[in-house]
Amino acid sequence: MLSYALRRLLGIIPVLIVVSLLVFAFVKLMPGDPARIYAGPDASLEAVDAARHQLGLDQPLTIQYLQWVGNFLTGDLGIAYRNRQPVADAIGESFFPTLWLSLAAFAWSSVAGIAIGVFAARRRGRWQDYTAMSIAVCGISMPSFWLGLLLIQYVAVPFGLFATSGYAKPLDIVLPAITLGSTVAAVMARYTRSAYLEATHEDYVRTARAKGLTNRMVVWKHTFRNALIPVLTMLGLQFGFLLSGSIVIESVFSWPGLGWLLIESIKTQDQPVIQALVMLFVTMFLVINLVVDLLYGFIDPSARRD
């Protein structure tokens, strides 16, 4: 198990290197002069040159990249151009709103998706199956931002129970969480149904029935338990999707999280914040996949030999 974990951990390093190069190149290709943005629109040429030297922008690109990576690895994310606040502090203030929103969306969407998938699989070919899968297809096809706007227009505004923007009371997380998790619930419903139906045709299920086990024992101990192995992998990928997909939803609901911070930083061309947030999103996604791989290897020992 230890060697399996080390192989998976080492596989993250090349991905992070490639992503860091792409992020650095993307930021450097953005229009505008970072020194001018940092010094202010009314700053003199001397002040702009001083800011360029202070930020290290007069160094070769190779040196700038290596300094940025070195600082990132030590936790120094730089200073935001917009308000001269440490980037780490700005991200720290916005991290937990995004985390709570993602966890709330993940909780309801994973439970609902798995339950609907099992329900549809056990009624395969009946009207319940067709209805559940039709709803799932609609959930996958519907743009999440459009669903958010519908919830604001027809739920938040008429009833007044939820805020249309921002976060003031615990109930205000409900509509953003529903919007963010709708696609995940639909995907998990279809995936769970397929995994469950595939498990019902395995030899161990036929053997369990031949032994005379009760239907409940066959369903929950053999079929459902083994169907959860591929579902677990998909759940991890979907949680990573929630973290990255929150960018759009936080913009719709003006949720004060990492996604909203990224959009605002792009508007103001705040390059240090953009670089740090993109790398943070990628790192979180890779860490989540690593955890899922380790859990998969723990549940299914044969996966460690792949």
Tokens matching residue 191: 């995936």
Give the pLDDT score at 178: 92
pTM of structure: 0.78
Residue scoring higher pLDDT (282 or 302): 282
DSSP string spanning 136-166? Answer: HHHHHHS-HHHHHHHHIIIIIHHH-SS-SSS
Give the pLDDT score at 176: 92
Give the pLDDT score at 299: 60
In sequence order, the 6+-apart residues with CB closer than 8 A to the CB of 154 are none
Domain ranges in the chain? 94-305
Give the pLDDT score at 8: 72
Tokens matching residue 83: 């308000």
Looking at 1.10.3720.10, 2.40.70.10, 3.40.50.1100, 3.90.1150.10, the CATH number of the domain 94-305 comes to 1.10.3720.10
pLDDT tens sequence across 194-244: 887 877 766 666 666 666 665 666 666 556 666 677 777 777 777 777 877
Give the pLDDT score at 233: 72
In sequence order, the 6+-apart residues with CB closer than 8 A to the CB of 131 are none
pLDDT tens sequence across 36-77: 777 777 777 888 888 888 888 888 889 989 988 888 888 888
pLDDT tens sequence across 245-265: 778 888 888 888 888 888 888
The average confidence (pLDDT) of the chain is: 81
Residue scoring higher pLDDT (82 or 63): 63
